[in-house]
Every structure is written in C-alpha cells, then in structure tokens.
Amino acid sequence: MSVIHRRSDETDAVQVPAHHDQSTWFDRALATLRIAFGITFLWAFLDKTFALGFATGTDQEGNVDRFGDAAWINGGSPTEGFLSFGVPADNPFHGFFTGLAGNAWVDWLFMLGLLGIGVTLLLGIGMRIGTAAGALMYAFMYAAVLPLENNPVVDDHLVGIIVMAVLALGAAGTTWGLGHWWNRTEVVENHPVLR
C-alpha cells in the first residue's frame, strides 16, 4: 500500500476571478432587465408616433399603413383606441378611462411618459423618476384592464410595477449605463431625487 502526500500549498477551493462574482452577474442581469424595459417603452413611443405597423398602424384586416392616419404625428390619438375599446365594460373604472380617451393632454402625458421612461431606462440616468413614472404608468394600465382575464391578481402590468421597484432599489443604472457619471454631476448631488 502506498501513501500519496499532498503538498501543503494546494487548496480545495476553486479560485474564481473577481469579475465573475455573484454581485457582478446580478448587476448585469439588472442592467439587461433595465435595457429590455427601456426598449419596450421607447419602442411603444416610436410605434405610436409614426404608426410603424406593430401595435399602431395596422387595420382590422392586418393591412399595414406605416406613417398613416393612426400616427400621432399625423393627428392620430395614441390613447383613444385602447381607452375607448380596450377597457372591459365591467371594469370599475370604465367611465373614468373612457372619459380620458382621445384628450390631447392625455395623449401628451402618455407619450412624454413613454419617451421619458424609455430614455431613462436605456441610459440608466434619472432612475428614481423614471422608475416611479414607469410604475405609475403600469398601475394605470393595470387598473384599466380590470377584471383580469387570466389570473385574478397578477398580470404583466403588476409584474412591470415590481420590475420598476427592483430596478430603482438595485441601482440598475450603474452597470452598462451612465448612472455612475450622472450621479456624480453637481445638479444630481444637489437634488438626489434625480438619481
């Protein structure tokens, strides 16, 4: 029988480089989530502005009329279709939401919200205001689709609210974004709500 002796400088632990630690991967996951949601908001803004044929600019038969009458730049209302026809009749807020349909001030608030939220999420700047506005927009959308069709409590809008909270609390703008630079600017240091 033979005995194999180990050298005393060997270790059982696998050495993991610092850039592969869990917090780095989590930061990257948050950044990916932030960018994906930013693209979602910014795309909704662009599609409604120019009627690019995805959610806006397609008629009942599926014909696409890019840059047509449905485009916001051509006088189309980005809120009228959904608020007039998408709010369920048994929604407790039906009258409130249908009363908002097609109002110019509602269209402007909605579109500026989509643009602002999309830009803040894509760039990782102004995350407190951007995620708060995103959560508020999702809350209005959640209220507009009540009662829910597929689940009595949770739908994609509620998940969006949760994601906005996670992005805000997780400092998601600092990885793959301009958050580090933005947070060190004088105006943000003097007004932390702009972080």
Q: What is the pLDDT of residues 52-109, one digit of tens each?
A: 887 777 777 777 778 888 899 999 999 999 999 999 999 999 999 999 999 999 999 9
Query: What does the alpha-carbon distance between residue 106 and residue 83 come to, in Å, rounded to a whole number?
Result: 11
Instruction: Taking residues 140-161, report their average pLDDT.
Output: 95
What letter does residue 58 receive in the DSSP assignment? B
User: Residue 106 corresponds to which tokens in the numbers above?
Assistant: 């509602």
Instruction: Taking residues 48-55, report their average pLDDT.
Output: 87
Instruction: Say yes or no to pLDDT of 119 above 80.
Output: yes
Query: What does the alpha-carbon distance between residue 77 and residue 70 come to, in Å, rounded to a whole number?
Result: 7
Give the position of tokens 């600092």.
174
Sequence ranges of the domains in the chain: 77-194
Give the position of tokens 């932030």.
34
Query: What does the alpha-carbon distance between residue 129 and residue 9 come to, in Å, rounded to a whole number?
Result: 53
Q: What is the pLDDT of residues 5-15, one digit of tens each?
A: 555 554 555 55
